[in-house]
Chain A
Amino acid sequence: KNEVEQSPQNLTAQEGEFITINCSYSVGISALHWLQQHPGGGIVSLFMLSSGKKKHGRLIATINIQEKHSSLHITASHPRDSAVYICAVITSGSRLTFGEGTQLTVNP
């Protein structure tokens, strides 16, 4: 079993829909990243959080440390949100352990 599990693996939505991607982890962490990767490889960190909730524009990330679970929400989804979203946890130092990613496709 992977230390970081994401669901769903693939997600197709219509423009405007509310999207949720889930991440569960089984190890002790100091913080969790939500990352976005577009075709071509570049990775952007959307959020780093260790408790509670963060919001940036149409993106919201929450984490429940007791339940070892985090969610990434996208409100009013848009085709430009199409990308791979990756959950990554910090376990020691700056070392990241990654989930397998969620391929999101938003159709116009």
Chain B
Amino acid sequence: KAGVTQTPRYLIKTRGQQVTLSCSPISGHRSVSWYQQTPGQGLQFLFEYFSETQRNKGNFPGRFSGRQFSNSRSEMNVSTLELGDSALYLCASSLQQGNTEAFFGQGTRLTVV
């Protein structure tokens, strides 16, 4: 059974550009959550999708958005990139919402220059 796949693994972008990151959950998993990890702030929740609907949103500006497709694959988009957006972006998939185990992807390392 394939794990959670995130693409791309590494990305370098320039300030002001926009970026789209992709997450393919484990087959059958319907919940996808996104997290940002930085040395200063640690791991922080971005948003959660279940059945193509955003169920939860963290405290991030509107430049951060996401969506989930009918096959449960999810994308997140960051517009007007800032240097502070440089981080490891992780997604996690779960079978359902709530008390189910989370499985993490390897992450996408985004560097904004």
Contact = CB atoms under 8 A, between A and B. Distances in A.
Chain B: interface secondary structure? strand
Interface stretch (B14-22, B69-77, B103-111): B103-111
B79 interface: no
Contacts of B37: 41
Contacts of B102: 33, 45, 48, 94, 96
How extensive is the interface on chain B, given as a class? 20 to 34
Interface string A83-106: 000101010111111101100000
Given A41-B106, A42-B106, A86-B43, A95 B101 contact: no
In the complex, which of the residues A45, A50, A86, A93 has the most CB atoms of chain B within 10 Å of its own CB atom?
A: A93
**Contact count band on A:** 20 to 34
Main DSSP-derived SS at the A contact region: strand
B27 interface: no
Interface of B: 31, 33, 35, 37, 42-45, 48, 50, 55-56, 58, 88, 90, 92, 94, 97-104, 106-107, 109
